[in-house]
Amino acid sequence: MMAQEYRSLAAFVQRVQRGLTLRRLLQNCLLLGTVCLAVLLLGVGVQALVTSAPWVALLYSLLALGIGAYLVLYGLWPLLRPLSLRQTLTQIETAYPDLHDDLTNAVQLDPAALERSNPQGMALDMVQALHQHTARQMEQCTVSAVVRQSPLSV
């Protein structure tokens, strides 16, 4: 039973982690679109200058290419590097301050690893009580509430 509660807590943390990563990805893609639109609008102004200074077109093209490459990497970075477990747990505990450090402790205390390293079962009762207590607390928590309350990163 302790392993089941641990798995449900770990699954909740993973869902929050995916939600926060998706939110960050969406935010970065919106930024990417906004900057690309600004660069395109700047191109309209550059067209008027090309007749008097042809080298402006080359500078604009290099600038646009550099900004585009940077923004594509910046917009796709969350897919390449998901949020760490510590950042995710911090966001959950910020959204639900009543948890204190219970969720962090419960997720870090894997019952299977404890049973392997502690065959006599010392302190497993306390870990089981922590998992049960945290699982009861987490019944009221939702992934969307945590994702909505997380601050927008810039």
Q: What is the pLDDT of residues 7-19, one digit of tens each?
A: 999 999 999 999 9
Asked whether residue 154 is domain-assigned, the answer is: no
Asked whether residue 112 is domain-assigned, the answer is: yes
Does residue 154 surpass a pLDDT of 50?
no
- Number of domain units in the chain: 1
Contacts of 89 (CB under 8 A, 6+ apart): 13, 103, 104, 107
How much of the chain, in percent, has pLDDT values that exceed 70?
92
* pTM to 2 decimal places: 0.77
Q: Which two tokens stand for residue 66?
A: 């550099």
Does residue 49 surpass a pLDDT of 50?
yes
For residue 88, what pLDDT is reported? 92
C-alpha 138/C-alpha 132 separation (Å) is: 10
Does residue 2 surpass a pLDDT of 70?
no
Instruction: Supply the range of the domain harboring residue 129.
Output: 2-149
**Quick one: CA dihedral 54, 56, 57, 58, positive or negative?**
positive
Does residue 1 surpass a pLDDT of 60?
no
Locate tokens 């945290």: which residue?
A: 134
Mean pLDDT estimate for the chain: 84
Asked whether residue 135 is domain-assigned, the answer is: yes
Overall average pLDDT of the 75-95 stretch: 83
Q: Which two tokens stand for residue 146?
A: 């945590």
Helix crossing, 124-138 with 2-50: angle to 10°? Answer: 50
For residue 12, what pLDDT is reported? 94
Does residue 26 surpass a pLDDT of 70?
yes
Asked whether residue 14 is domain-assigned, the answer is: yes
Does residue 37 surpass a pLDDT of 80?
yes
For residue 114, what pLDDT is reported? 77
Q: How confident is the model at residue 51 (pLDDT cuts 50, 70, 90)?
A: confident
Model confidence pLDDT, tens digit, residues 113-139: 777 777 676 678 888 888 889 989 988
Asked whether residue 116 is domain-assigned, the answer is: yes
